[in-house]
Structure formats: structure tokens, C-alpha cells
Structure 1
Amino acid sequence: MKIVKITALVWLTFNVLAIQAQDPSKKDSIIAPIASVPLDSARNVADTVSIIGVGDIMMGTTYPEDKLPPENGRHLLRDVEAVLTDADMTFGNLEGTLLNSGGTPKTCKDPKVCYVFRTPTRYVDNLTRAGFDMMSLANNHAGDFGEAGRQSSMRTLDSVGIKHAGQQAQKFTVFEKDSVKYGLVAFAPNSGCVQLNDIEGAKALVAQLDSLVDIIIVSFHGGAEGAQYQNVPRTHEIFHGEDRGDVYAFAHTLIDAGADIVFGHGPHVTRAIEVYKDRFITYSMGNFCTYRGISVNGVNGIAPIIKVYTDKRGKFYQGKIISTYQTYATGVRIDPMNQVVKKIQELTKKDFPETRIHIAENGLISYLAQ
């Protein structure tokens, strides 16, 4: 097991202080990529890869009324494009469908909690400009417009080379860059998706991917929704009568089975992070870019960009949380107040007091291996 060298930490501290000295306003909002941070003097930087994960993305809808941003949503991700493209692999969760018209809107038992999203296919250009390589289609909105919506979403992502996983028709996918193969498998408790609560089936899929790729990324859409559900309860979560899984047990079980990174989403708020057996877990990355479709009041409107550094087999080295926020009618903005870093610090300390990770005020995540 490797331990982050004291010399590297001293180097990092010195450089952060130097940046602050040049511009004191940057004290709490250093968002530059951390590729220049030495991992340690003995570690080969060439053996290191960087992986970015973000939460829910819904770039506007034409149903039941037109709630589309101007200029095809070009501004939605503009402020964070430079951050999102600065990684070997970038992942997000696509809520809703990429569909121009038609389809069969889903119906819900309780219309008060029913949302249906249909985003024009041309909006996929925003994802390509932002550098997304892989998307999860395992969530409760992937089937908003039935099979027509599912097929259109998959065809649209395929047309621009964005890999996707999580539908029964495409359970997992593989993305290769610089001779490293990344596998993505995604789960949700919703119809048409790879089932979150089929643990044995999930383990089998991870085992299958393990023979094909170097780094296995698991995405799950699970857990109860809303500001009152920010904590990870370590038990099954039932929400509106639906079993949203025991995401703690799920993440640990799949890492035991061979997964290397777990990116969680579903609660529409940010949750804690953890490192288990040298593998990184984030339990929810919140509402990242959800234009006028999902409440972004209070904690629902802050979300992280999480950048994870691993070796070429998925072993966690260190990470970076970059704070963002959005309002009802705006795109994603870098948050100079670092609200989501503070929130993740608080939640991680409470939910995982045994963790061996440290989250600095500027979002750097360091890890003391056992």
C-alpha cells in the first residue's frame, strides 16, 4: 500500500500558498486542474489516469410545455467546459430523453411527483463540446417517452461517439483512450434499466467487464430524493413506495466484485464520498445541469465536479472536488464560495467517521492507505 509522501504535501501546500499570495481572492476558489500536483516522488505520473464524474444532466424539455434555453443551450456548460475536458475520461448521468418529437409520455400514480423530459437531439452538441465520453442511461427518466425515447437517446449518443450504458439493450460499454480501457456499467431500480436490486446480476456484469477492461466504472441511480435525504443510511431506502436500494452495500459489494470507481446519483442532492479497498465512491453528485426542470433551491442547486486520479488499474491516488451551482434559469457556474466542498466535508465526516480520506478547503482529496 502506498502513502502520499510528506514531500508531495509540502510541495502542494507551498504552491497553493504561492497562488494565494499572488491573488488573495483565490484563497477559497482554486479551480485549476491538478495534473501538476505530484502524486509522490516514487510514483510514475505516466501510470496515472484522471477520471471526471458529474451528476444529473437535463438540458431543457419540450414537454409538457416548451422550457428550452436560448441558443440551443450553448451557455449551459460553457463555464465548465475547460474543466470537464481536462481528463482522460469524463462521465455524466443523462436524465430524460434525447428525442425531437413523438414518443409515449409516461404516466405516474401521483401526478404531483411526476416529471417527464424530452430534450431535442441537437442538444447533444453541448455534451460533445464539454468533452463527455460516457453517459449513464440508467435512471427514472430514461424511459420518459417509452421505447421511442430510449432508442432515440441511444442513437443520438452513438452518432457523436459518446458511449452509454444502463439500458437493457446496452447494459455496459467500453471506452479506450491512450491504451487504457474503461468499462461503464450502470444500474437503476426502474423499468427498462439494468436492475439496481439484482445484486447477483450486477456482480456478474462486473465480472464480465473485468475480463475486458482495465478500469471498471459503476454508475448507480439510487437512494431517496430531496434535501432531507443527504445522508447515506446504510440500509434500503424506500421512496414513494419504490425500493431505491441499499447504496452503501451495493457500492461495497461491487468493489469486492472488481469495480474500481463508483459514481452515484439519484437523490438530487450531494452525498458523502468514501474510499473502500483503495477504490473511490461518491454516493450522489446531485443536480449538475438541470435547466428549469428540477428544483435547484438551496442544497439542490449545488453540485460537484469530481476528478479522480488512479493508476491504470483503478487504484485511487487522490482527487479534486470543484464546486458548481445553478439557478432555475441559468447554466452551470463555478462556485467561488465552494459550498459543495463544505457540504461534502460535513457529510463525509458524519456518515463515514472511519474514513481515511481528507478533504481540504479547496477541494483536494488525499488518502492515507492502510
Structure 2
Amino acid sequence: MGLFAHSAIGRWLAAGLLAVASGAAQAQDGSALRIAPVPSTPIADGFTFAAVGDIIYLRPMLATLEARAPEMLKIMRAADVTFGNFEQTVFHLPTFKGHPQATSGGTWMLGDPGVIDDIVDMGIDVVSHANNHATDWGVEGLIETLDRLDAAGVVNAGTGRNLSGARAPRYHDSVAGRIGLVAASSTFPAMSRAGDPIGEVPGRPGVNALRTERIGIVSPADLAVLARVAGTREGAAVKLNGVGYRAAADASSPPVIEYVVDTRDEAANLLSIRQAKQNGNFAFFSLHNHEPGNASQTPAGFAVAFAHKVIDAGGDAFVGHGPHQLRGIEIYKGRPIFYSLGNFAMMNNSLDAVPADMYDQYGVEPGSATTPELLAARNAVSFGDANLFESVIAVSRFVGGRVSEIRLYPIDLGVGTQGAMRGVPMMADAIVGRRILERLQRLSQPFGTTIAIENGIGIIRIPADR
């Protein structure tokens, strides 16, 4: 009897385990799962989303802004959520355990730790950290910056301790609903790209990179010359200094540069924005991109195509920055695309400490010039264009999950200002403000966007059917 009972129990257990195993196998091979899009509830009507461009804000000076730009702060604080690109590293240099890297994003950006409290008090809730300056001071500087942002409650995306972390959506819970952000950069030093662990190899901290390949389209005659310079055998692909080249169909066409996006990076980022929307009420994508160059007021073709794909994947807004000046605005399927919001703060002249590499980069002997003298000389060449010091705060209002109105408030960073106040944002006066808005009108027209100028503010009114 005992043996019978034991055998019966054994058969019962075996049958149960077989059923569990069978069910698990069905789930694993997909036969028992029906994957379908997960719907989300749109953000509450009347939700306002404020966005600014690059935040290169290197020292705490909120008291000055409170006195000189109270209206600007009022705009930023009034929005339900305010966003900007945090383009700097933040730590206390005397106690820092890392080192400046041999390659930077152009300048070794170093902010006082107190600037994080300032941006919180300005009303900034969410930032991207995916940009070409994220690893100026190595992964140690990157991680300390993230730790300080986290400690202050500033939601940040775009960098992380590995690629999955850098690419993951990050969320801010506002009164109006849950806001998700995914951030990436297509402009970055090669060393900045984050990596995931595999086997015993650890992951690499860094940036969520949207890699692109530059392709030069040139005449067949020019291609033949480039092939000889590159030492390429006849019929082989031509690549020189990291740029691929191919012949234009029309031999008389002028040379152009195109960009091909890495399909793996694109797919993974689109999956991430889809997840951000499914787990939130409002999702937006931030892309730091300098392509095709800082002098261009027109976005690269890949950025336009990618922005559309982000919206198609569930994004409610797309915010670009990187070239340090404004680019046009597009309304696509009822969602705003800001191809570049330029600079919010541009205080790179405020640096006191730069590595010896910076002197070497410009052929200046250390000790022969102060840091401000070095930076002033460099900035006169690279950052002398007034357009780099003129931008807007864009405030978008949403109704029924679609943008209904965008208000553009012009800001002036003081291109003609000398010393400590250069690059510090203020509300633009009537003359500068109109110049900014008229330029934005012109840049947005090719995207079918009409901007009215009323009482010194740019206004985009979007019909419900657009």
C-alpha cells in the first residue's frame, strides 16, 4: 500500500512537472503568448512642456538670474515639465578621483557642483546627458555627474553605467501625468560610446550613441582621385579618414555629404521610445546632433527621417540640440519636432581649469596665457557668430494627446558681452527678439510651419486635423 501510494504520488508529480514544462515551452516558443501594442492614456489636457537647448552653465548664479531675468525663470517654472540638455561634467576638482581624457568634445567642460541646485530652482525637471562632452573627464566624471543629478532629483537619460542603462527610458511623475524620456547622441568621441557586458567582460559606462556613417557623393572623376589618395584598389569601396565615398549618378552634381544610420542603434532606440510611451502618458526623444556641421541651419537628412520614426513609434515630441544655433520646427502627426533649440547657456568662457591638452590643441604654450585669454581667442574663431547666442524657450501645450499651440520666447545670451556675463541667458529685447523669431520663421517654413509674432512672442497654432 505504501509502495502504491508512493508510486501514485510519483506519477502525479511527474504529470504535474510535465504540464508545467509543456506550458513553459509553449510560452517560450510564443505559441501561448500574443504580443500586441500596449495602449497608454494620453497626458492630461492643458499639459505644458517647456524645452531649452544646450545647458553649458558652469557656475551657480541664480541670484543674478533672479534679479536680471525673472520673466525667463517664471516661464520655465510655470510649465508642467521643463527639459534641457545638460552638456557638462560636474564635480569638485580638488577631490576628483579621475582624470581629463586625451580627447574631449571640443572643450573639457567642468561645472561647479552647485549648478545642479540652480537648475532645479530654475524649474528644470528632466535633462539629457547624451552629448559629445559627457566623457570629457572620463567615466569617473560621467558617473559622478549622474550621481549628483540623481541626488538632486533631476531625471536624466542618455548616459549610464552600460549601454542598456544609457538607452533606457527615464521617467518623471508630474501632476499632469508620467513623462518618459529617451536620449541619444549622434555626435560623440569614439571613446564615449557605452557598451553592454558579455560573459565575464563588464559593461562600459558612456553615451547612448546613434551611430552614423558619413558618405560623400562625388563625381566619378573625384572618386578616382580619392581612390588613389586612399590607396584603394580599382572597384573597391573608397574610404578616407573615416568617410566613405561613392560616385554621383550625374557627373555634374556638386559634392554632398549624406549619413546612413546604424540600423541596430535605430531599432533599439525606437523600441525604447515605444516602451517609454507605454509606461507613461507622454514620451519624448532628445537627440544631440551637430551634423552636418555647426554652421548649418538645416538639419541633416537622417535627423529628419529619424524624428519622424520616433513619432511613428509613439513619441509625443522630439527635441534636437547640438549645433549651438536654432534650426527649424516641424509639426508631424500633431507632434512637435524641434530640430535644434540652440543654446540655453553658453558659459564656456567661465572655465578656470583646463587640461594641458587644450593649450596643445591650439598651439599655445602653458604659462604664456591665462585660461580666459586662451578661451577668448578660441571663442572668437569658433563661437563668434551671433546666432549661437540667440535662442528660444519653447513651451508646447497639449490637448487630446496632440500639440495645440507652441509659444516661443526669445532669449539672448549676450554675444557682445564681455567677461563673466557672456553666455548667460536673459530675455531678449524687442529688436533682438524679433530677429530671432524672424530667423526661426524662415527656418521653419520648409517644414510647412507658420510662426506668428505677437507682442514679442512666436506663436504656432496647430489645427486639430494636422
With the shorter chain as reference, the TM-score category is 0.7 to 0.9
- Residue aligning to 2:332: 276
Structure 1's 233 and 59: CA in aligned 2 closer, same or farther, altered over 3 A? Answer: closer
Structure 1's 50 and 205: CA in aligned 2 closer, same or farther, altered over 3 A? Answer: same
Aligned residue among 41, 61, 68 for 1:73: 61
1:308-327 equivalences in 2 (<5 Å): 308-311=396-399, 313=401, 315-327=402-414
Letter in structure 2 aligned against 1:228: A
Letter in structure 1 aligned against 2:170: T
Q: Distance in 1 between matches of 2:137 and 2:411?
A: 30
Q: Distance in 2 between matches of 1:312 and 1:175?
A: 20
Secondary structure class of the residue paired with 1:83: helix
Higher gyration radius (CA) = 2
How much has 1:158 moved relative to structure 2? 1.1
Q: Distance in 1 between matches of 2:176 and 2:321?
A: 29
User: Number of residues paired by the alignment?
Assistant: 298
Aligned residue among 179, 197, 216 for 1:182: 179
Aligned residue among 31, 34, 55 for 1:57: 55
Aligned residue among 433, 438, 446 for 1:342: 438
Aligned residue among 340, 360, 364 for 2:453: 360
Secondary structure class of the residue paired with 2:78: coil
How much has 1:179 moved relative to structure 2? 4.9
Q: Does 1:224 align with 2:311?
A: no
How much has 1:76 moved relative to structure 2? 6.1
1:2-41 equivalences in 2 (<5 Å): none
TM-score computed with the length of structure 2 as normaliser:
0.60
Secondary structure class of the residue paired with 1:316: strand
Overall identity of the aligned pairs, in %: 27
Q: Distance in 2 between matches of 1:130 and 1:300?
A: 22
Deviations 1:53-109 (A, max 9, x none): 00011122xxxxxxx5xxx3235643121111010000000011111123221223x
Q: Does 1:202 align with 2:194?
A: no
User: In proportion to residue count, which structure has more helix?
Assistant: 2
- Relative contact order, CA 8 A, sep 6+: which one is greater? 1
> Does the 8 Å CA contact 2:292/2:300 hold for their aligned counterparts?
no
- Residue aligning to 2:102: 107
CA RMSD of aligned residues (A): 2.1
Letter in structure 2 aligned against 1:316: V
Q: Does 1:134 align with 2:222?
A: no
Secondary structure class of the residue paired with 1:47: coil
Q: Distance in 2 between matches of 1:135 and 1:177?
A: 15
Secondary structure class of the residue paired with 2:388: helix
Deviations 1:146-203 (A, max 9, x none): 1111111111111111100001434321111125010011011332211224111111
Q: Distance in 2 between matches of 1:172 and 1:139?
A: 16
- Residue aligning to 1:301: 389
> Does the 8 Å CA contact 1:296/1:326 hold for their aligned counterparts?
no
> Does the 8 Å CA contact 1:325/1:334 hold for their aligned counterparts?
yes
TM-score computed with the length of structure 1 as normaliser:
0.75
Gaps of 5+ in 2: 1-42, 194-205, 212-264, 350-378
Structure 1's 292 and 233: CA in aligned 2 closer, same or farther, altered over 3 A? Answer: closer
Structure 1's 179 and 50: CA in aligned 2 closer, same or farther, altered over 3 A? Answer: closer
Secondary structure class of the residue paired with 1:281: strand
Deviates more, 1:146-155 or 1:189-198: 189-198
Structure 1's 335 and 224: CA in aligned 2 closer, same or farther, altered over 3 A? Answer: same
Structure 1's 81 and 107: CA in aligned 2 closer, same or farther, altered over 3 A? Answer: same
